[in-house]
Structure 1
């Protein structure tokens, strides 16, 4: 246990840990997660390639209660776990899941670490600090690669309260706000690249699968999952638009204040 020497929040806490680390690779895991026995070995094995700046692994849910029938695998990211749509074999990805990730320490130091102001602060379920960092690292070094290694497994405990509709909606909305903040820093081309594929390919497949199950097997849970995917996408999009509007309003308000200040100075 160490003291957070930086700004309050998850990003500052992680940067404090990086500052005290001494190894060539720094790995991150959540306090409510447990790593597989071969976790470190499977993460480190891919660092033999110099272009690899980081390696992340699979995050499997450790359910404290059985998940409800409406909860879609495509939205397991809501509870901090790997979701349907991620690669099933080792492959390059845009960014890792924060519960199971590692980076070359020198790359983290050179980039300035996790950006303060992005990520969780207190209990507000925002995030994406690892997304912003990984995109920034790759923008600084376009030849670099971040790998997803599903053999590096972490079990993430999922409490019952995270399986409620209220949390699902809150988390989706917060994810949208977080993505708006990420695109502010890294641009929408890189900031939404994975989301475009997810929305165009992964989610329609999930909706079709759920409806097909509801029709052919007469299971209401299939219809509920399809509906949850649609609702989750709508809420996340709403959060993103709200985040973008907030930043635009702040930008134009600041410009208006500067203009007024300049005009007042000239008149004086």
Structure 2
């Protein structure tokens, strides 16, 4: 791992937040979004084929692609109490990072705030954000917003200490669906996770060229492993049965990691498990 450059960030609106961006082989898109970040920015290069040099950000180059765990590297390097995540195709709208810091200071139990996500040039509301706004598991007294037990990684600000204590993103899950386990573990530790609609993230995904079959297989594998790690046996069995029906190829991947998952199995508090059930999970 090596640090390539550490230029001063532009248009800083808060010194309490660091933006962490994990990227791989998308330098052109990254250079479009980096100038939009209004806080100190750390780019973690997930083993790109060519080294990155990104003006306006500190770049940490990893020797290999470690998936979502690259964000953990950025969090470790951050020197601020709060960390915002972004993808190389997303950015936080002006004022959002400073406001997130204010909200986290005012809500000491909050470990994670997830923003309203607007997709593409038209600013279409992400369906996940729409679902969160409906508050299916309620709004606890004094919370920053509706409770959530999931999030989009490109649209959260976390309390750095709570994130680190929870272990961050599990490297074994790599990518796709890695957020669920972290959300469960933060909630199990007694933290609040809240949807805050006044915080806005713009997201410009490019689906072209992605292997949707490989992604579906990985998502299925991670869903089952997460159930094995934290959920009651009946839930894990249902997840396995669904995998056998919809993604039978994923069973090989699951079998490979089954001993690890069972060794690290830990029951969630009843309140967290009950909330997951209300979400239909």
Q: Deviations over 1:207-263 (max 9, x none)?
A: xxxxxxxxxxxxxxxxxxxxxxxxxxx999723x654564347648xxxxxxxxxxx
Equivalent position of 1:159 in the other structure:
206
Separation (CA, whole Å) in 2 of partners of 1:160 and 1:245: 26
Report which structure shows greater RCO (CA 8 Å, sep ≥6).
Answer: 1
1:165-204 Cα shifts (integer Å, max 9, x gaps): x74x654444222211222322258x89xxx9xxxxxxxx
Candidates 53, 59, 71, aligned match of 2:111: 53
C-alpha change, 1:246 and 1:31, in structure 2 (3 Å) is closer
Question: 1:247 — aligned with what?
Answer: 254
Q: 2: distance between equivalents of 1:235 and 1:175?
A: 10
Number of paired residues?
Answer: 187
Is 1:87 the equivalent of 2:130? no
User: Structure 2: how far apart are the matches of 1:37 and 1:150?
Assistant: 14
Counterpart CA distance in 2 for 1:56 and 1:251 is 31
- The C-alpha deviation readout for 1:59-92, integer Å capped at 9, x for no partner, is 211159x99xxxxx8xx67xxxx35422157311
Q: CA RMSD in A?
A: 3.7
1:16 to 70, 73, 78: 73
1:119 aligns with 2:177: no
SS at 1:86's partner residue? helix
Residue 152 of structure 1, CA deviation: 1.0
User: Which runs of 5 or more structure 1 residues have no equivalent in the other structure?
Assistant: 68-72, 121-126, 197-233, 253-268
Q: Tell me how far 1:105 sits from its aligned partner.
A: 0.8
Structure 2 residue runs of 5 or longer lacking an equivalent are: 1-57, 136-144, 260-281
The corresponding residue for 2:165 is 110
User: What is the TM-score normalised by the length of structure 2?
Assistant: 0.55
The answer on 1:32 being equivalent to 2:89 is yes
Cα distance change, pair 244–102 in 1 and its aligned pair in 2 (3 A): farther
Higher-strand-fraction structure: 2
- 2:277 match: none
- Is 1:137 the counterpart of 2:183? The answer is no
| d(CA) in 2 for partners of 1:98, 1:59 | 11
Between structures 1 and 2, the one with greater helix share: 1
CA distance in 1 between counterparts of 2:78 and 2:244 reads 36
